[in-house]
Structures are given as structure tokens and as C-alpha cells.
């Protein structure tokens, strides 16, 4: 009888141990650290270092309710730290739909936040300042006219083209409202931003295409920004100016009209690109990849939800929604879908800049690009 009683007590201790272990699991306590003991109530005792002890007393009902709640809740998900990475993104100018629009939409629609990026968008006052900021590490990704990469690399600056932003040539020839065709511009003045800029190159290419001498048959005038171009046009100091899709704004205002896109002058071209520093490629590869994806999601949104995108962009860029939609008609179809670039087009651009004396060296084209971030998959 004594032996049988001992075996019964041993079995009860084993069963109690199993129960305690199961309860500890349900409540999330480490094994052996907390156990229920059965007195008048249930006592949850947690082991403490020698020299001190602590016991939390609760009723049997409270204990059972807690255990049942834990069981119903199921396994607890691990806590994941998700601190956002802070990045700054920049464009050469604000007043260009194709250039700035995707950054504005990516910020507004939360595409950058979805990539766990705490992003700030900073528009600059020209490509040279943006190039400096990207190389200095102040801007993660810059977007600007494509010729900037050729000029920067020749100057020995550690910059790489990371994606095509706008394909083809979205630049426009904007003329006085009484001008009906390009032929009427012979002997007249054409406004550009500055000597050596892409707008200057296109004005000279246009003259040559028409069979004119760029130095004798037309006058190419460096005037700077859009306001200066429009003011000179209103005073009849110029009869046309070369600009991006922002010509849609002055056309809506009745101050000029878009005669056409200049892709007729440059059959092979890349209008705008995204670029990064070589240092950022090494140190911030993942952030570049995520930000690029967010920007291209925004470009897709601009193609598929054009009216909503126009409202978003209008508020930031300061154009009426109708002008934004006008700009979309000019350059919306040229927004890149995957960021891939044509080396043939890049070569044509290099040849053109050498021909017009903008650059002197014919560097290997592969030195200008990184292939780590394209094609962009969205």
C-alpha cells in the first residue's frame, strides 16, 4: 500500500509540473521562472536574486481568466524595430512637370514612407548646385537634365547616372503668339537659359536643321529663368525661347504658345535622368533602391491617375491644374516606366556635346552609369 501511494504522489507531481509549464508558456514566462503554487489562492512566484523575493497574489478565478485570455490570444508577434531612414531628394528646378512631379507625388501619396524612408524633397535653382549637393552627400538622389552627367564626369566628379527619368526629348520651342512656324524665326532672337546649357545646344541644333548659320542667321540670347524669357518675349526682344514642359504655363496665360517638342531635332536623346554619388552607391545602396522605387511608383500614378496627380502637383509647383495637364500632354508619355537607359542615346548626346564644344573628352560611356538600380520593379 505504501509503495502504491508513493507512485500515486509521484504521478501527481509530474502532472502538476506539466500543467505549470503549459501555463507559463501561455503567459509568456520563461520556463522555471514563474510557477503557480496552490494554497488558499493561486500565487504566481517569480524567482529573484538572492537577498530578495517577490510574490504576486491573485485569486484562482483571476489566474484562470488570465490563462484563458493568453491561450485565446495565440502566439504573440515579435516586436520589430522599424526606425525610418532619413533621406533628401532633389531636382534641378521646381518648375518642370516631368522632373519635379514624380517627387511631389511620391511624397504626397506616401510611397516613400511605405519604403520606410523619412524623405525631404528639395528643389534647387539649377543643375550645377544640385550636382554639388549630391557629391557632398547632402542629397541622396538628384534628378536633372541628362547632359549634366556628361559634363560632371568630364570634370572628374564622382557621379553616376542611376536611372532614366524622362525618355526622349521633352524640351519645347515656345514662340510669340503671332508666330506660325519655325521659318519665321530666321533673323530673329531665340532665348535660352545660358551659353553651354542644353537649351543653348538645342537652339543651335534647330538653326542647323533649318539650314541656318547659328551665329549669323539667328541670335541666341542667354536670359536665365522662365520669367526673364517671357518678359523679353513680351517686349519683342526675342521671338521664341527653348524650355521644358513649363511652356504649358505661359501658353495657358496667353503669353506664348508651344510650337512643338524638340525631339524632331534630336531623334536620339534622354531628356532627364536620376543620378547618385559613387560614395552613396557604396554606403546607401538600399536607400537608393527604395527611393527609386517610390519615385517610379509616382510616375506610374501620374500616367494612370493624371487628373488627381495634376491636383497634387499644382499645389506644390504653383501652376493651375489646367497648366499641369497641359504639361502632361507634352511630357507625360515620356516618363520612364523602368528607368532603363539607352547607351546608344547616351552616345548621341556625348557626340552632340563634343560637336558644340560643351565637353572636350570622349570618356567611356560605362563610366557614366551604374546598373545596380534598373530596371525598376514596381
For 232-269, the pLDDT digits (tens) are 999 999 999 999 999 999 999 999 999 999 998 998 99
Query: Given this model, what pLDDT does residue 267 score?
Result: 85
Give the max Cα distance, the chain.
125
Query: Given this model, what pLDDT does residue 26 score?
Result: 39
Domains of the chain and any CATH numbers? 15-68 (no CATH), 85-169+269-368 (3.40.190.10), 172-264 (3.40.190.10)
Helices (H), ranges, the chain: 2-27, 60-73, 97-108, 111-114, 127-135, 147-154, 198-209, 226-234, 247-252, 278-283, 285-304, 306-317, 321-331, 343-355
Is the pLDDT at 8 greater than 80, yes or no? no
Is the pLDDT at 162 greater than 90, yes or no? yes
Pairing state between β 270-277 and 159-167: antiparallel
- How close are the terminal C-alpha atoms of the chain, in Å? 77
Query: Given this model, what pLDDT does residue 15 score?
Result: 54
Query: Given this model, what pLDDT does residue 11 score?
Result: 60
Using CA atoms, how far apart are residues 164 and 336, in angstroms rounded to an integer? Answer: 6
Using CA atoms, how far apart are residues 256 and 174, in angstroms rounded to an integer? Answer: 6
Reported confidence tier of residue 7, pLDDT bands at 50, 70, 90: low
What is the pLDDT averaged over residues 168-184? Answer: 98
Helices (H) and strands (E) in the chain, counts: 14, 13
Using CA atoms, how far apart are residues 309 and 5, in angstroms rounded to an integer? Answer: 82
For 186-199, the pLDDT digits (tens) are 999 999 999 999 99
Using CA atoms, how far apart are residues 130 and 128, in angstroms rounded to an integer? Answer: 5
What is the pLDDT averaged over residues 295-307? Answer: 99
Query: Given this model, what pLDDT does residue 370 score?
Result: 98
For 59-113, the pLDDT digits (tens) are 555 544 455 454 444 444 344 446 899 999 999 999 999 999 999 999 999 999 9
Q: Strand order in 240-243's β-sheet?
A: 219-222, 189-192, 240-243, 172-175, 257-261
Average pLDDT in the chain: 87
What is the pLDDT averaged over residues 116-134? Answer: 96
SS3 (DSSP) at 53: coil
What is the pLDDT averaged over residues 281-290? Answer: 98
Query: Given this model, what pLDDT does residue 308 score?
Result: 99
Query: Given this model, what pLDDT does residue 5 score?
Result: 60
SS3 (DSSP) at 301: helix
N residues, the chain? 378
Q: What percent of the chain has pLDDT over 70?
A: 78
Q: Which residues contact 267 (CB under 8 A, 6 or more apart)?
A: none
Q: Which of 33-42, 80-89, 98-107, 276-285 has the lowest mean pLDDT?
A: 33-42
- Neighbouring CB atoms inside 10 A of 87's CB total 21
For 303-341, the pLDDT digits (tens) are 999 999 999 999 999 999 999 999 999 999 999 999 999
Which residue, chain included where needed, has cell 495634376? 310
**Residue 74 CA from chain centroid, whole number:** 40
Give phi and psi for 205, each to the nearest 5.
-65, -40
Query: Given this model, what pLDDT does residue 83 score?
Result: 87
Amino acid at each position: 500500500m505504501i509503495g502504491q501511494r508513493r507512485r500515486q504522489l509521484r504521478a501527481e507531481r509530474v502532472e502538476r509540473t506539466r500543467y505549470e509549464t503549459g501555463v507559463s508558456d501561455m503567459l509568456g514566462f520563461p520556463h522555471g521562472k514563474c510557477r503557480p503554487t496552490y494554497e488558499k489562492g493561486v500565487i504566481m512566484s517569480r524567482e529573484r536574486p538572492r537577498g530578495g523575493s517577490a510574490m504576486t497574489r491573485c485569486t484562482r478565478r483571476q489566474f484562470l481568466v488570465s490563462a484563458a485570455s493568453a491561450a485565446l490570444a495565440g502566439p504573440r508577434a515579435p516586436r520589430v524595430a522599424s526606425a525610418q531612414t532619413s533621406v533628401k531628394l532633389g531636382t534641378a528646378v521646381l518648375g518642370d512637370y516631368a522632373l519635379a512631379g514624380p517627387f511631389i507625388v511620391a511624397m504626397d501619396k506616401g510611397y516613400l514612407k511605405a519604403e520606410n524612408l523619412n524623405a525631404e524633397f528639395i528643389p534647387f535653382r539649377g543643375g550645377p548646385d544640385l550636382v554639388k549637393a549630391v557629391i557632398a552627400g547632402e542629397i541622396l538622389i538628384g534628378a536633372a537634365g541628362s547632359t549634366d552627367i556628361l559634363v560632371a564626369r568630364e570634370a572628374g566628379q564622382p557621379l553616376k547616372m542611376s536611372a532614366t527619368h524622362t525618355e526622349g526629348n521633352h524640351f519645347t520651342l515656345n514662340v510669340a503668339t503671332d508666330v506660325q512656324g519655325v521659318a519665321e524665326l530666321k533673323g530673329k532672337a531665340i532665348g535660352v537659359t545660358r551659353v553651354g546649357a542644353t537649351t543653348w545646344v538645342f537652339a543651335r541644333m534647330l538653326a542647323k536643321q533649318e539650314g541656318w548659320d547659328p551665329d549669323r542667321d539667328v541670335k541666341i540670347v542667354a536670359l536665365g529663368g522662365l520669367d526673364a524669357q517671357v518678359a523679353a518675349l513680351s517686349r519683342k526682344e526675342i521671338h521664341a525661347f527653348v524650355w521644358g514642359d513649363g511652356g504649358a504655363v505661359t501658353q495657358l496665360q496667353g503669353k506664348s504658345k508651344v510650337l512643338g517638342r524638340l525631339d524632331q531635332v534630336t531623334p536620339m536623346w534622354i531628356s532627364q535622368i536620376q543620378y547618385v554619388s559613387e560614395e552613396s552607391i557604396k554606403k546607401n545602396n538600399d536607400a537608393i533602391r527604395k527611393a527609386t522605387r517610390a519615385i517610379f511608383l509616382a510616375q506610374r500614378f501620374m500616367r494612370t491617375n493624371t487628373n488627381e496627380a495634376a491636383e497634387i502637383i499644382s499645389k506644390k509647383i504653383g501652376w493651375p491644374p489646367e497648366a499641369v495637364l497641359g504639361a502632361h500632354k507634352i511630357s507625360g508619355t515620356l516618363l520612364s516606366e523602368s528607368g532603363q537607359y539607352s547607351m546608344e542615346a547616351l552616345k548621341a548626346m556625348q557626340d552632340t556635346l563634343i560637336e558644340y564644344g560643351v565637353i572636350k573628352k570622349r570618356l567611356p560611356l560605362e563610366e557614366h552609369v551604374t546598373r545596380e538600380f534598373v530596371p525598376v520593379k514596381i
